[in-house]
Amino acid sequence: GGTGGAKQLTLAVNSGVEGDALKQAAQDYEAQTGVHIQIAEFPYANLFEKELVDLGAGTGAYDLIMLDDPWFPKFSTQGFLTDLQPLFAKRGRGGPDEDFVPSSIALCRHPYSTGALYALPYVGNSQLFFYRKDLFEKHNLKELKTWDDVLAAARTINEREATGAPGGGKVYGYVMRAAQGNAAVADFMPIFWAFGAEMFDAAGRPTVNSAEGVNALKFMLELGKYSPPGYASFNADEVSAHLLQGTAAMSINWPAWISSFSDAAKSKVIGKMDFTDMPGAKLAGRAEIGNWLIAIPRDAKNMDAAFDFLLWATTSEQMKRSALRGNPPTRRSVFTDAELLAKFPAYAVQLRSLENSRPRPRTPLWNEIENTFGIFLSKANTGELTPEEAMSRANAEIAKIIESGR
Amino acid sequence: MRRRQILAAEYERALPYLLVAPTLLVLIALSIYPLIYAVRVSFQTGVGTGARWTLQNFTRLASDSFFLSALAHTLVYAVVALTFEFLLGLGLALLLNREMRGRSLFRATLLVPLMLPPVVVGVVWRLMFNPNFGAINGTLKGFGLNTEALVWTASPKLALASVIAVDVWQWTPFVFLVLLAGLQAIPQEPYEAALIDGSSPWQTFRHITLPLLKPAILIALLLRTMDLLRVFDQIFILTEGGPGFATETISLYIYRAAFRFGNFGYAAAMSFVLLLLTNIISLVYIRLLQRQETA
Amino acid sequence: MGVRFENITKVFGPAVVVDHLNLAVENGEFVVLLGPSGCGKTTTLRMLAGLEEVSAGDIYIGAERVNDIPTQHRDIAMVFQSYALYPHMTIAENIAYPLRVRKTGREETRRRVERVAGMLEITGLMARRPRELSGGERQRVALARAIIREPRLYLMDEPLSNLDARLRVQMRGELKRLQHELGTTTVYVTHDQAEAMTLAHRVAVMSAGRLQQFDTPMNIYQRPANRFVAEFVGSPPMNFIEGRTDAGARVFRGSRGVALPLSENQLGRMNGRERVTLGIRPEHLLISRAAREGWQPAHVYVTELMGNETLVFLRLGNEKIIARAEADFRADPETPVWVGFEMERADFFDAESGEALR
Amino acid sequence: MGVRFENITKVFGPAVVVDHLNLAVENGEFVVLLGPSGCGKTTTLRMLAGLEEVSAGDIYIGAERVNDIPTQHRDIAMVFQSYALYPHMTIAENIAYPLRVRKTGREETRRRVERVAGMLEITGLMARRPRELSGGERQRVALARAIIREPRLYLMDEPLSNLDARLRVQMRGELKRLQHELGTTTVYVTHDQAEAMTLAHRVAVMSAGRLQQFDTPMNIYQRPANRFVAEFVGSPPMNFIEGRTDAGARVFRGSRGVALPLSENQLGRMNGRERVTLGIRPEHLLISRAAREGWQPAHVYVTELMGNETLVFLRLGNEKIIARAEADFRADPETPVWVGFEMERADFFDAESGEALR
Amino acid sequence: MKRETQSDERRVYARAGQARRKAAARVCVYALIMLALLATLAPVYWMVTISLKSEVDQFAVPPRWLQFAPTLAHYRDAFFARSFGQYLITSLIVSVASTACATTLGTLAAYALARFRWPSRVGTRLSLWILSTRMFPPIVTAIPLFLMMRDVRLLNTRASLIIVYTAFNLPFVVWMMRGFFQEIPRDLEEAARVDGDSRMGALRRVVLPLVAPGLAATAIFCLIISWNELLFALILTQTDAAMTLPVGIAGRVTQYEIKWGVMSAAGVVAMMPILLFALSVQRYLVRGLSLGAVK
Ligand SMILES: Nc1ncnc2c1ncn2[C@@H]1O[C@H](COP(=O)(O)OP(=O)(O)OP(=O)(O)O)[C@@H](O)[C@H]1O
Ligand SMILES: Nc1ncnc2c1ncn2[C@@H]1O[C@H](COP(=O)(O)OP(=O)(O)OP(=O)(O)O)[C@@H](O)[C@H]1O
Ligand SMILES: [Mg+2]
Ligand SMILES: [Mg+2]
């Protein structure tokens, strides 16, 4: 790390489209300001552990880090991050401007949405509902409003498209992402919420085994019947593969995939895929939010230089560039930018779903809880446990975690 | 003259220590501190400043059903994989321990799985196991089999078998490599004597080859066991321990505790259990296989 | 079981190691292979055992051609020149191995192991491993491992070479008795003349992979087929004197006026050949310090005291010859002596071919 | 360089293998170690070479105590009983190894290798590997590797045991010459009496780790220190007849009326001892088919034809004795013969201790 | 005479189909080897095809073993998109260096442990301890090692990886080589020392050539291990400057997708250097010449 002169910054990024964007931004910044920015790029799986270890050990190896929003509570509660407020103040600004999507900014505060600001949102991902509009027209299925519509559509397609896939194979009505762990949970949460279930009650006690919770799970299993065999091991890759190969008609997925569907090298369903808001049930559908944030570690060596870059990188024109590089923005102005809308027709939907998206529960124990919850969802998916058993045992285990976390 | 020789004698006496010294230094330097660290954190909760001294990490082990089933999976995994890897490796080593055309090419080729980065292995197999696009079911379908039920890593019944299969595929070459080198070191005379004494191929194998191969066998078993009990990469990529915890092994669980949940104390505590386990098994092997040293 | 080599040839790369060997061993016969180091004895045994493939020719054991029969089916016991003990087994296990592979009962195994161990005086070593034995002990273990069985064929490659004289005589006796009792055909390699003479029914003398003579020990010694055999068998070796026959004077003329009378029959054997080589063994030379009628003058150039006898190295004409004398014979170098030839014991060889003249 | 063993003891676990050995070898002396298999010869050499630690006692080479001096600094050349050739090197490399480690120039190395190779008749094998050699060839390579150097000390453990008679005689000569030229102190183990007799300045006879006698070959043979030496040295071994002295009649009385006259001086040596053992070598027994004055009646029970002589096994009284006879002596079992004793050559031993009576 | 008859029929049976049985045996051997090769190489071949297929073909049903439009896109992506060249160099340096260190130090130590007289069982104890240093799960040692390296300012350097991999491979080398040293007849070293060679000289000139097969096998394996190691490489490096190939490859597993093609391509390339090395040391893998060494 550079000392004092702040002519050098080190930046830990996620390897993938988000990191690449920031990397290129950094090069532009270097060209403009002459501040050399060194990039440390890590696989998504490992970025977290790297940051955990480095920040925990206070090596000050990084001046800036990218982090996925679920990690934020842990980092902030453990005091790994720098409060940005003073830095804003230093530059005579009250804080981030209003252009940021509130749900995104809320993620960057600890406690959630009310507390101090420890990061700025860089990539505005939130789940979308993908579906094959060609098939919907073909079988004139009604527009998707509720999960029951989804189920009905799935059933129809399963029956009618036994050989409808490009290879002559079967088109499955729905493809679920249910690999143990994060995957299963991420795909389940929208249903879970829509059915009116909640992870915790006001007192922070787990309530996953509520009647709503169990029903949500039952519904998920029902939906699973129309998913390709082995969906219990699917992760984003398999899901996307099915959609791209045209062997599945509907799924929850992340915007990062949208571009692929129009890429001949990857897609057999060019022009046939459409995107809509998360379906609802008892409640209106809400997507799970998954933003990439940028923060300054507590032990960063060049806070000010780092903060300057942070501000620069999250300006709307920089974010537009990032958007052009394939990352959904976190600013309304960018979402509504004409040029971008032309290039990314889904932006309207994305903005909507981002704005009323929901974050995963903001607890430092989330990883642990999500993992456990995922295990039992998976057990339910493989039929090892009945929905009731699964939920009640999940509840018990989650309670344990919270207990030992105290 | 005399002094030179006395020095020589001293040097001769010191030599063995000089020879092991570097190794010991490196190992001490890189193993003592981590050990101390692990011991310390295993008796603490929380990290850094907020750390408290406690036994809870160990007490928790007993009641942690996840830990116990992970332990069970690990043992099953190790035993089954080791059995196959050893038998196959031994078989291959014996097959290729003879003069034949193309031998050296065969040998090198058989090592290929060993040479692939575990991540890649995991990825490739994950793709092959895919029930719908995967090469395996695809080929089976090609033979007209119904593969509806064969969802490999997605089925709680097949998942463990599947990851074991991958391990066998990747690590049998190692056993093969070690045992082959061992076979190569066995002199020819005893075999000729055995022929003369009229021992059948099987008897020769049983009474001559196996005993003389003991050192190599010991090494192969020791190292494979140690690594099997710590198996991580392939499973992590293939199943992340799923479905429904069916393939979760200790290392995965330790990994989560340490790197996902930031609970180093608990991770360390579990590692000590693993260490103990490994130690016991190793000692058993050594008891059984160590050739008594006749100085 | 008889053994028959038919035109057996063995080549290692360029080198012809056994060259068109023809040899027929009777059933129950004890045959000794004799020959210089590297002449192909071990190779011959190994081919018979099936440890080496033959390059050409056929080997028969009894009536059947065994070229393609794997060693373990030939029912042979062999003592390897390099022992080839099982390093990981105790001595007892080593010796018992042939029985073990035949699933012999524990009790009988014990009995037989003890018997041979006793016979070979290695009873005390049973619990050790080969590497803890002395050379001679190892060799006896190798021998024990062979004779514990009753195979169709014994092959022994210098089985006593590392034993002391006493043991060797004793083992010789044991082997003779054993072979006599079991009547097992035996092919035996040795460099020890005493073993060859006392054990063999017939001796096969080889040189450079070729069979030189195959006959009873006595005939080998007393009626060698050619100069090589004559020289190779017997130590100290036979003396040779180059010369020519004077048919008229009925004498054999060596260098420097050495002249030895020839009998009618000897002359006959030479039938007219001019250049011949006279061969006579050291024990058929007599030495006297005083001149005698018909004895040849010579000079001592060195004497070797063997204890039981003295070897006298003499210069006779241009030739160097060796004579055996009493243990107490002493003479300084250059002492003039007279040498008497027991001419009726003399042998004659063709100077070119080296064939014996009979 | 002289060599001195002082109270050297070597134990392997429980077994005492060398037992308080005291032995002083003169500088430039050629000493032969003789003894039954397993008596500790090799162990002795190995201790001298520093390959085995001594359990007790001191070893001196020249003036200095070498117990703690590592082998490679003792400047010794050794022929191992088990050749210990380097399997991965060619014969040439094997032989050249001692020079190589001494960084001898390539040219000189070549020259010396060729010389010893020629001396040992292995010139043709230079490019081969040990496993492609015959036993005897390997042994000669081992020998070559030792004598290519000019060390302070030669140690040779049965270096000729696997060679044929002709080569053995020849090598014997070479070694003798070599040792004579270089005057290098040599300790030599052999089981071959001829080697011991012809090579040794002095012979050390060992038994079960203990030194029995250390003397010139002739004395060992003719004046054995005790019954063990007498019996061990010489083949066929000395005959022993248990009996008692009749001082009055001046005769030695064996069993069944065997009575042999004793000289004044012999009687003197026994000074009054009653029970003694008479020892007489086979070559000092004469055989006649007709009765003679003072000769003892006996029966042939077997004859062994050695070619150059015939060994006659006789039953005399209760004793079995062996006599040497002419090569052409023949006799069927049970033939009655008369045996003449050259009594002046007879030796007498204390019946209990086995000590020679002198 | 039961024995006779039995061995008689043994022989008859033997004579009957001797030649045929030989031929049959040879065929069997080759068949088995082919089977093994197939099992080994099928997934590798699959990987290669994946690396050459566009995504559309990767997931095609039924799987395309042969008929697909090959593309080098993934290779381009793998090697130009990120600084793979640099990773490759780092990996080479790190794994070669650590292999060299580990085999050298380990061989010396192994020799001392296998050949020298040690006071009462110290040798065995040492060996056991050395082995035990490899039993602790790397996941747990990673963090303390990270802290150590931070304190000695070696974080994010190739040196740190070299050191760690050396330590990681040492126990393996020591045990492997110890086993092989014990197989070599002592007489040979004794002969060497009688011939005036030092202990080390004897080791270099006599013993090592004889354990060459073992050494080659050991080296190959060390190389493979350090070549593919992921965890430490991740923890101990921070920037491209010191990252190794596996890290680079793992980087292709992104949050939303696995770049199957790119990973396979990387795998194919990553495998090559090791494969070449393995092929180049093949000749050392052949018989230890311990034959005919001693009587
Ligand atoms: N593998 C081989 N390659 C090349 N030549 C060999 C091989 N084995 C043996 N020979 C040669 O074949 C010849 C005969 O070897 P063999 O062992 O039969 O001799 P031998 O009669 O037993 O000699 P010895 O009495 O010394 O044991 C020798 O000259 C030897 O060099
Ligand atoms: N490593 C060992 N452990 C136990 N006993 C041993 C060991 N080495 C040798 N011996 C014993 O020590 C005794 C002497 O062995 P040594 O080799 O010196 O005999 P030797 O005189 O050379 O016999 P040979 O003439 O047969 O070679 C033998 O009885 C042998 O069994
Ligand atoms: Mg031989
Ligand atoms: Mg010996």
Whether residues D68 and B9 touch (CB distance < 8 A) is answered with yes
Q: Work out the average pLDDT over E240-262.
A: 80
More confident of the two residues B135 and B210: B210
Nearest to A169 among E61, E257, E258 (CB): E61
Cα distance between residue E292 and residue E295, in whole Å? 7
Mean pLDDT of chain B: 86
Q: E strands within B60-192? A: none
Task: Quote the distance between the C-alpha of residue E75 and its chain's center.
Answer: 25
D153 touches C219 (CB < 8 A): no
Mean pLDDT of chain C: 91
Q: What is the mean pLDDT of residues A146-173?
A: 88
- How confident is the model at residue D208, as a pLDDT? 92
More confident: A18 or D4: D4
* Ion ligand 4 residue ranges (Cβ < 5 Å): C 134-135; D 42, 81
Distance (Å) from the C-alpha of residue E116 to the closest C-alpha of chain D?
Answer: 12
If you measure from the C-alpha of residue C306 to the centroid of ligand 2, how many angstroms do you get, rounded to a whole number?
A: 29
Query: What pLDDT, on the 0 to 100 scale, is given for residue C249?
Result: 81
Write down the pLDDT at residue D164. 92
CB burial readout B229-243, b (16+ within 10 A) else e: bbbbbbbbbbbbbbb
Chain E adjacent subunits, 3+ CB pairs under 8 A:
A, B, C, D
Q: What percent of chain C has pLDDT over 90?
A: 64
Q: Do chains D and A touch (3 or more CB pairs under 8 A)?
A: no
Is C75 within 8 Å of B198 when comparing Cβ atoms? yes
CB contact under 8 A, B8 and D70: yes
What would the pLDDT profile of D256-302 be if each residue is shown by its tens digit? 777 888 888 888 888 778 888 999 999 999 999 888 888 988 999 88
CA of E208 to the centre of ligand 1 (A): 28
- How long is chain E? 295
Cα(C86)–Cα(E152) distance, rounded to whole angstroms?
54
Biggest CA pair distance of chain E? 82
Give the residue from A5, A83, A48 showing the smallest Cα distance to A298.
A83
Q: CB within 5 A of ion ligand 3: which residues? A: C 42, 81; D 134-135
For ligand 2, whether the C-beta of C137 sits within 6 Å is: yes
Relative to beta strand C202-207, strand C30-34 is parallel
CA distance C217 to B217: 53
**Residue range C104-151, pLDDT digits in tens:** 999 999 999 999 999 999 999 999 999 899 999 999 999 999 999 999
Which residue's CA lies nearest to atom 28 of ligand 1?
Answer: C38
Q: What is the DSSP string of C27-76?
A: TT-EEEEE--TTSSHHHHHHHHHTSS--SEEEEEETTEE-TTS-GGGS-E
Q: How far is D29 from chain C (nearest CA, A)?
A: 18
**Nearest CA-CA partner of E107 in E229, E218, E255:** E218
Q: E57 and E64 in contact (C-beta within 8 Å)?
A: yes
Please identify, by atom number, the ligand 2 atom nearest to the C-alpha of residue C131. 1
Q: How far is D75 from chain C (nearest CA, A)?
A: 25
Query: Can you tell me the mean pLDDT for B57-77?
Result: 90
What local confidence, expressed as pLDDT, does residue E287 receive? 58
At E155 the three-state DSSP class reads coil
In the B/D pair of chains, how many CB contacts fall below 8 A?
12
The reply to whether A340 touches chain B by the CB within 8 Å rule is: no
Taking residues D332-338, report their average pLDDT. 89
Q: What is the pLDDT, as a whole number, of residue B148?
A: 75
Could you read off the pLDDT of E61-91 as tens digits, one per residue?
A: 777 778 788 888 888 887 776 677 888 899 9
Give the pLDDT confidence of A214-250 residue by residue, as tens digits: 999 999 999 999 999 888 888 888 898 899 989 999 9
- H-assigned helices in B43-64: 56-63
User: Separation of D81 CA from ligand 3 center, angstroms?
Assistant: 16
Q: Can you tell me the mean pLDDT for A352-371? A: 91
**C183-194 residue pLDDT tens:** 999 999 999 888
Interface of D with B in 68-107 (CB under 8 A): 68-70, 73
Is A368 within 8 Å of B259 when comparing Cβ atoms?
no
Q: Check if the beta carbon of residue C61 is closer than 8 Å to that of residue C73.
A: no
Q: Is D209 in the pocket of ligand 2 (CB under 6 A)?
A: no
Predicted local distance difference test score (pLDDT) of residue A2: 35
How does strand C56-61 pair with strand C64-65? antiparallel
Nearest CA to D37 out of D154, D211, D206 is that of D206
Find the chain C residues whose C-beta atoms sit closer than 8 A to any C-beta of E: 64, 68-70, 73-75, 81-83, 102, 135, 150, 152
Give the amino acid at D251: V
Residue A219's alpha-carbon distances to A215, A380, A384, B165, E190, in angstroms, are 6, 12, 16, 34, 79
> Does the C-beta of D43 come closer than 6 Å to ligand 2?
yes
Compute the C-alpha angle D266/D270/D275, nearest 5°. 120
At residue A43, the pLDDT reads 83
Asked if residue B237 lies in contact with residue B123, where contact means CB atoms within 8 angstroms, the answer is yes
pLDDT at E12 over 70: no
Residue nearest to atom 17 of ligand 2 (CA): C134
Contact A200, A182 (CB under 8 A): no
Smallest CA separation from ligand 1 atom 20, residue: C38
Q: Which strand ranges, in their side-by-side order, compose the sheet holding C319-325?
A: C285-288, C336-341, C296-305, C310-316, C319-325
* Test the B interface: residue of E10, E135, E220, E274 with most B CBs within 10 Å: E135
Residue-level pLDDT at B48: 55
Tell how far the Cα of C41 is from the centroid of ligand 3, in angstroms: 6
| Separation between Cα atoms, residue D211 and residue D231, nearest integer Å | 15
Task: Inform me whether the pLDDT recorded for C312 exceeds 70.
Answer: yes
Closest CB to B132 among E61, E111, E144: E61
Q: Which tens digits make up the pLDDT trace of D231-260?
A: 999 888 899 998 888 878 888 888 777 788
Q: CB A220: neighbour CB atoms within 10 A?
A: 23
pLDDT band for position E180 (cuts 50, 70, 90): confident
CB of residue C64 inside a 6 A radius of ligand 2: no
Helices (H), C148-191: 165-182
pLDDT digits 0-9 by tens, C234-265: 888 899 988 888 878 888 888 777 788 888 88
C-beta atoms of D69 and B5 within 8 A = yes
Q: Is the pLDDT score of C321 beyond 50?
A: yes
Q: In whole angstroms, how far apart are CA D341 and each of D91, D280, E94? A: 54, 8, 89
Tell me the pTM: 0.90
CA of E177 to the centre of ligand 2 (A): 29
Q: What mean pLDDT is predicted for residues C312-330?
A: 88
The predicted pLDDT at position E8 comes to 47
Mutate to test the pocket of ligand 2, among D19, D39, D157 (most ligand atoms within 8 A of CB): D39
CB atoms within 10 A of CB A67: 25
Ligand 1: distance of its center to the CA of D134 in Å? 4
What residue in D sits closest to B7 (Cα-Cα)?
D69
Q: Is residue C24 within 8 Å of C63, Cβ to Cβ?
A: no
| Close Cβ partners of E153 (under 8 Å, ≥ 6 residues apart) | none
What's D57's DSSP letter?
A: E
Give the residue, by CA position, lying nearest to ligand 1 atom 12.
C17
C99 touches ligand 2 (CB under 6 Å): no
A228 contacts on B by Cβ (under 8 Å) = 131-132
Taking an 8 Å cut-off on Cβ atoms, the answer to whether D69 and B2 are in contact is no
Chain D touching partners, 3 or more CB pairs below 8 A: B, C, E
Pairs from A262-271 (Cβ < 8 Å, separation ≥ 24): A264/E56, A265/E54, A265/E55, A265/E56, A265/E71, A265/E73, A266/E54, A266/E55, A266/E56, A267/E56, A268/A166, A268/A244, A268/E56, A269/A132, A269/A134, A269/A243, A269/A244
D87 → closest Cβ in E196, E199, E290: E290
**Across the interface, which of E59, E260, E290 has its CB nearest the CB of B185?**
E290
Do residues E174 and B22 touch, judged by C-beta distance below 8 A?
no
pLDDT attached to residue E103: 96
Nearest to E48 by CA among E68, E33, E30, E34: E68
Q: Which of C35, C161, C283 sits opposite D162 (nearest CB)?
A: C161
Amino acid found at A230: G
Q: Between β-strands A8-14 and A36-42, what pairing exists: parallel, antiparallel or unpaired? A: parallel
Max CA distance (Å), chain C: 78
- What is the pLDDT at residue D48? 95
Cβ atoms within 10 Å, residue C115: 13
